[in-house]
């Protein structure tokens, strides 16, 4: 039995090697993409989390502010608490580097205290100059920061306000992780040099031996909440809140990317199904003969499943190896974030994870087994006496035409599409998409039979009185109308590949167009001026603001100030943006979603929240909320919800006048200049460039900002475009393999047609028309299905993943191009396969028919 099984398996592969290779390649591509993206994301996230935890050293407890900085006056009180062995104050911020789009993380510490808690945050002076640890101009750079900045004469330049500050590189930070760009300074020097006197970012505590950390944390939390409500967060550096906060920044992106990669695997699964189904149909009489000779049903089913199992094992094994190599290559050339910007400042190395490899390997094998389960079951159920006869191929797949399982899948998909997210992920949305695909593919035999039966009836009625009517068309429509199950298999290949491509293309195009429209709405000014470098230390003081507002041709200036607020311990900080917003007409400057709310007289000041704040924090229109500002909790009223594509973690807009009245802070991070009627932007920009501090700023027009934003979008979605292209290629191969298998399986049919007088050219014409007709129907159905799936992606998956909405846009040129490629591929494959099927002559083709 083992020898027979091996002979049948290898014989089939030798007879049709290309078809086997295509099926193996489809599984391998799907597994390799999914496994590679998992390895990249896991390596980047683990390295990023390790880098964040490394900055905490061996601290037992940390106290952070809900604002980026808090008053250091609380430090003596906390440092003298019972049970505290060492309390280390830390000042942490992103320093602006002139001319750079990336910031340098600067950490100010008290070296004499930090050495007991976080030795990673203590610089190593050169040549034993210990005095540099507390020098007011000394900075210690990590290896990655040194490589990035390339300090000349041991000096680096940072930006404070619009001025430049020279700092001396006094040594290194050898304990920093690979790729981690950071600088260590004495905390007093950092406060003075960067104009943050009296401010801290956090306090690290090392507790005495025997002190219960959990009890200490709970007691400290209660005390701080009582005396300073809403101002501080108390956590353990390795607790669940910190892990959840780090994971939440990129979880939706990572999961969506993985699901997108598995789209290729889904297409590969159907390719295995079509390959095995057509193979079983072609060998139906051979299997029947084996049954007559003594092979029982269980052995036959085991043989067909063995073929699928071998395809799955080979494809999955190749996919795992290729995925590891692809992950290593991507990390080397593309970085850890694949263009999305979540994991900057780390340099991870790919690590082979046996558990993940086993899961993906099992997934590939399961996909292959599921792909051949239906053909195996049908072959085992077939009666040998009937299966030995020619012409029973259509009956073999008659069970596929049952409509109720497919309709049930589609009804369940409609229900699941309305389900809420699970762990803030659209898991039910993805499941509904899979059920839609399965249901639609299951309906294809019945749809094909109905469409081509109607087409055949109309053609017959139209040509009843025309003896010169084309026999080729008549034969083609008759075959398609009466072999709907086999036609359905071919249609399923087109449907699965084209519908998924349509859905992804519509989703990406919708996002891109919506982003462009949003930028046009939120950039109403004529000129935008901001710091020429990233980071939080570059700013505009009141004197620079006045000079910019007085530039020639300026009608009015709208200043912007941005800060970070922590509203929940287990979530990333939200952005607080203060600018001039007309409370009576906020839609002029904000992309307001839905209705607006006008606060009543005497109500708290208004704020406008992004859509993410509604999903993540449960805020609602008209709700009164409190925000930590200037060390106190202040009440506000939600006056509107707006769309923000820049930040998926949440944004709050408030009026700049309210912000300044509460905090007293006058510095801003940027300004939007609206020109007077008739004024030219070129004249205003020329006057701006003559300012003494113009080199520290960057002026842009809205068109330039939009162009740069679109470039960033395309870079962030580069991996998405790549996955979409791979899905299209797999779909083309799938269509080609399906039509090739069907055509070669019909060699006896073509031989019989040749016997009754049909010419070789007419047979090839029949094949070309069949391929074109089936593909055209598959494209039409795939477009409808892809459009429905895109509705789920745009209006369910995307809002549940990233907490923003978008408008629907259809990229007609791309869709038409791919549809044309599919039509050409189907017709060309049918012709080439037909030439091969007709190459043996009509007598040889029908000699096995009895």
Summarize pLDDT for 547-577 with one digit per residue, the tens.
999 999 999 999 999 999 999 988 889 999 9
User: Is 60 exceeded by the pLDDT of residue 11?
Assistant: yes
- Is the model more confident about 767 or about 356? 356
pLDDT at residue 699, as a whole number: 94
609 band by pLDDT with thresholds 50, 70 and 90 = very high
Instruction: Give the Cα separation of 650 and 802 in Å (integer).
Output: 10
User: Is 50 exceeded by the pLDDT of residue 665?
Assistant: yes
pLDDT at residue 850, as a whole number: 38
DSSP 8-state assignment for residue 595: -
Mean pLDDT over residues 264-291, rounded?
A: 73
- What is the full DSSP assignment across 428-497? HHHHHHHHHHHHHHHHHHHHHHHHHHHHHHHHHHHTTT-TTS-HHHHHHHHHHHH-HHHHHHHHHHHHHH
Which of left, alpha, beta for 301 (phi over 0: left; psi -120 to 50: alpha)?
A: alpha
Instruction: Give the Cα separation of 96 and 535 in Å (integer).
Output: 4
Across the chain, mean pLDDT equals 85
| Buried residues in 831-845 as b, exposed as e (16+ CB within 10 A) | bbbbeebbeeebeeb
Contact status, residue 547 vs residue 696, Cβ threshold 8 Å:
no
Mean pLDDT over residues 497-512, rounded?
A: 88
Residue 188 burial (10 A CB sphere; 0-12, 13-18, 19+): middle
- Is the model more confident about 1 or about 166? 166
Give me 554's structure tokens: 């300026």
Least confident span in 144-148, 518-522, 533-537: 533-537
pLDDT at residue 509, as a whole number: 93
Q: Coil, helix or strand for 334?
A: coil
User: Is 70 exceeded by the pLDDT of residue 401?
Assistant: no
240 band by pLDDT with thresholds 50, 70 and 90 = low
Mean pLDDT over residues 339-349, rounded?
A: 64
User: Is 50 exceeded by the pLDDT of residue 21?
Assistant: yes
Roughly what angle, to the nearest 10 degrees, separates helices 471-482 and 760-792?
50
- The helix (run of H) or strand (run of E) holding residue 104 is strand 104-109
Summarize pLDDT for 35-83 with one digit per residue, the tens.
888 888 788 777 777 777 777 777 899 999 999 999 999 999 999 999 9
Percent composition of the chain: helix, strand, coil (DSSP 3-state, to 5) = 60, 15, 25
> What is the percent of the chain where pLDDT is above 70?
88
Give me 583's structure tokens: 């409370």
629 band by pLDDT with thresholds 50, 70 and 90 = very high
Mean pLDDT over residues 209-214, rounded?
A: 91
Pairing state of beta strands 70-71 and 670-675? unpaired
User: Is 60 exceeded by the pLDDT of residue 525?
Assistant: yes
Give the dihedral of Cα atoms 143, 149, 150, 153; nearest 10 deg.
-110
User: Is 60 exceeded by the pLDDT of residue 758?
Assistant: yes
Q: Which residues on neighbouring strands pair with residue 565, listed in sequence order?
A: 67, 574
Contacts of 462 (CB under 8 A, 6+ apart): none
- Is the model more confident about 291 or about 550? 550
Mean pLDDT over residues 784-808, rounded?
A: 93
127 band by pLDDT with thresholds 50, 70 and 90 = confident
User: Is 50 exceeded by the pLDDT of residue 155?
Assistant: yes
532 band by pLDDT with thresholds 50, 70 and 90 = confident
Give me 535's structure tokens: 């980071």
Contacts of 530 (CB under 8 A, 6+ apart): 669, 670, 671, 697, 698, 700
Q: Which residues on neighbouring strands pair with residue 607, listed in sequence order?
A: 638, 654
pLDDT at residue 849, as a whole number: 44
Pairing state of beta strands 632-642 and 624-629? antiparallel
Q: Rg (Cα) of the chain, in Å, rounded?
A: 34
* Closest to 833 measured CA to CA, from 756, 748, 736: 736
User: Is 60 exceeded by the pLDDT of residue 810?
Assistant: yes
User: Is 50 exceeded by the pLDDT of residue 510?
Assistant: yes
Contact status, residue 650 vs residue 614, Cβ threshold 8 Å:
no
pLDDT at residue 848, as a whole number: 47
User: Is 60 exceeded by the pLDDT of residue 241?
Assistant: no
User: Is 80 exceeded by the pLDDT of residue 90?
Assistant: yes
The model's pTM is 0.85
Least confident span in 4-13, 72-81, 599-608, 647-656: 4-13
Contact status, residue 62 vs residue 205, Cβ threshold 8 Å:
yes
249 band by pLDDT with thresholds 50, 70 and 90 = low
Contact status, residue 560 vs residue 671, Cβ threshold 8 Å:
yes
What's the distance, CA 202 to chain centroid?
33
Least confident span in 116-130, 338-352, 386-400, 540-554: 386-400
pLDDT at residue 400, as a whole number: 57
Least confident span in 500-509, 541-550, 818-827: 818-827
User: Is 80 exceeded by the pLDDT of residue 84?
Assistant: yes
Beta-carbon count within 10 A of 702 CB: 17
Pairing state of beta strands 84-95 and 138-141? unpaired
Q: Where along the chain do its domains lie?
A: 1-56+246-396, 57-237, 527-700
Contact status, residue 98 vs residue 533, Cβ threshold 8 Å:
yes
Instruction: Give the Cα separation of 692 and 689 in Å (integer).
Output: 8
- Is the model more confident about 288 or about 102? 102
Mean pLDDT over residues 726-743, rounded?
A: 68
Summarize pLDDT for 446-470 with one digit per residue, the tens.
888 889 899 989 998 888 878 777 8
Instruction: Give the Cα separation of 787 and 507 in Å (integer).
Output: 10
């Amino acid at each position: 039995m083992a020898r027979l099984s091996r002979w049948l398996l290898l014989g089939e592969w030798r007879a049709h090697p290309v078809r086997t290779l295509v099926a193996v390649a489809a599984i391998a591509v799907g597994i390799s993409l999914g496994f590679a993206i998992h390895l990249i994301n896991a390596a980047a996230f683990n390295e990023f989390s390790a880098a964040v935890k490394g900055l905490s050293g061996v601290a037992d407890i940390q106290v952070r502010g809900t604002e980026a900085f808090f008053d250091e006056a609380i430090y003596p009180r906390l440092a003298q608490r019972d049970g505290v062995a060492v309390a280390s104050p830390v000042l942490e911020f992103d320093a602006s580097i002139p001319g750079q789009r990336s910031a340098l993380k600067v950490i100010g510490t008290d070296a004499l205290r930090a050495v007991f808690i976080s030795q990673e945050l203590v610089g190593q002076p050169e040549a034993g100059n210990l005095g540099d640890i507390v020098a007011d101009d000394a900075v210690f750079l990590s290896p990655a920061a040194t490589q990035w900045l390339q300090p000349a004469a041991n000096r680096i330049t940072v930006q404070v306000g619009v001025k430049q500050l020279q700092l001396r590189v006094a040594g290194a930070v050898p304990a920093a992780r690979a790729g981690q760009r950071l600088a260590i300074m004495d905390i007093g020097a950092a406060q003075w040099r960067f104009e943050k006197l009296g401010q801290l970012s956090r306090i690290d505590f090392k507790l005495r031996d025997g002190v219960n950390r959990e009890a200490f944390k709970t007691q400290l939390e209660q005390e701080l909440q009582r005396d300073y409500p809403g101002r501080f967060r108390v956590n353990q550096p390795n607790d669940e809140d910190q892990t959840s906060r780090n994971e939440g920044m990129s979880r939706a992106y990572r999961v969506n990317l993985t699901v997108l990669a598995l789209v290729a695997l889904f297409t590969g699964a159907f390719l295995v199904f079509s390959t095995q189904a057509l193979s079983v149909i072609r060998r139906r009489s051979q299997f029947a003969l084996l049954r007559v000779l003594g092979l029982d049903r269980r052995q036959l089913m085991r043989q067909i499943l063995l073929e699928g199992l071998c395809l799955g094992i080979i494809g999955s094994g190749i996919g795992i190896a290729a995925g590891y190599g692809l992950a290593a290559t991507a990390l080397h050339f593309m970085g850890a974030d694949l263009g999305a910007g979540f994991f900057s400042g780390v340099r991870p190395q790919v690590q082979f994870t046996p558990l993940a490899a086993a899961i993906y390997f099992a997934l590939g094998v399961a996909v292959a087994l599921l792909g051949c389960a239906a053909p195996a079951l049908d072959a085992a159920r077939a009666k040998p006496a009937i299966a030995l006869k020619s012409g029973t191929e259509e009956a073999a797949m008659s069970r596929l035409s049952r409509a109720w399982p497919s309709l049930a899948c589609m009804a369940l998909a409609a229900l699941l599409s309305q389900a809420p997210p699970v762990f803030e992920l659209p898991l039910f949305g993805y499941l509904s998409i899979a059920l839609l695909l399965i249901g639609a593919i299951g309906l294809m035999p019945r749809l094909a039979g109905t469409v081509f039966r109607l087409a055949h009836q109309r053609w017959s009625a139209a040509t009843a009185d025309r003896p010169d009517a084309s026999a080729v068309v008549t034969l083609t429509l008759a075959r398609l109308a009466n072999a709907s199950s086999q036609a359905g298999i071919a249609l399923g290949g087109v449907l699965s590949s084209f519908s998924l491509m349509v859905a992804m293309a519509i989703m990406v195009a919708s996002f891109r167009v919506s982003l462009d429209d949003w930028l046009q709405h939120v950039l109403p000014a004529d000129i935008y001026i901001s710091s020429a470098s990233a980071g939080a230390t570059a700013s505009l003081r009141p004197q620079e603001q006045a000079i910019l507002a007085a530039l020639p041709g300026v009608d009015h200036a709208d200043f912007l100030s941005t800060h970070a607020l922590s509203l929940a311990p287990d979530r990333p900080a939200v952005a607080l943006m203060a600018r001039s917003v007309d409370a009576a007409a906020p839609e002029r400057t904000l992309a307001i979603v839905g209705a607006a709310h006008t606060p009543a007289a005497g109500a708290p000041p208004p704020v406008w929240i992004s859509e993410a704040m509604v999903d993540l924090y449960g805020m609602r229109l008209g709700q009164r909320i409190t925000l930590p500002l200037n060390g106190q909790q202040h009440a506000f009223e939600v006056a509107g919800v707006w769309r923000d594509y820049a930040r998926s973690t949440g944004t709050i807009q408030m009026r700049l006048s309210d912000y300044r009245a509460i905090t007293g802070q006058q510095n801003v991070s940027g300004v939007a200049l609206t020109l007077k009627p008739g004024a030219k932007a070129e004249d205003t920009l020329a006057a701006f460039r003559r300012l003494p501090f113009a080199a520290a700023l960057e002026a842009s027009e809205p068109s330039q900002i939009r162009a740069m934003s679109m470039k960033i979008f395309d870079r962030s979605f580069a991996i998405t475009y790549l996955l979409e292209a791979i899905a299209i290629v797999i779909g083309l191969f799938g269509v080609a393999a399906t039509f090739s298998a069907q055509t070669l399986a019909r060699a006896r049919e073509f031989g019989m047609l040749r016997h009754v007088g049909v010419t070789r050219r007419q047979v090839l014409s029949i094949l070309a028309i069949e391929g074109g007709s089936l593909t055209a129907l598959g494209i039409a159905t795939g477009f409808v299905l892809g459009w429905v799936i895109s509705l789920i992606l745009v209006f369910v998956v995307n809002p549940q993943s990233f907490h923003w909405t978008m408008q629907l846009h259809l990229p007609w040129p791309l869709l038409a191009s791919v549809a044309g490629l599919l039509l050409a591929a189907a017709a060309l494959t049918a012709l080439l396969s037909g030439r091969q099927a007709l190459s043996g002559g009509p007598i040889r083709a029908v000699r096995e028919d009895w």
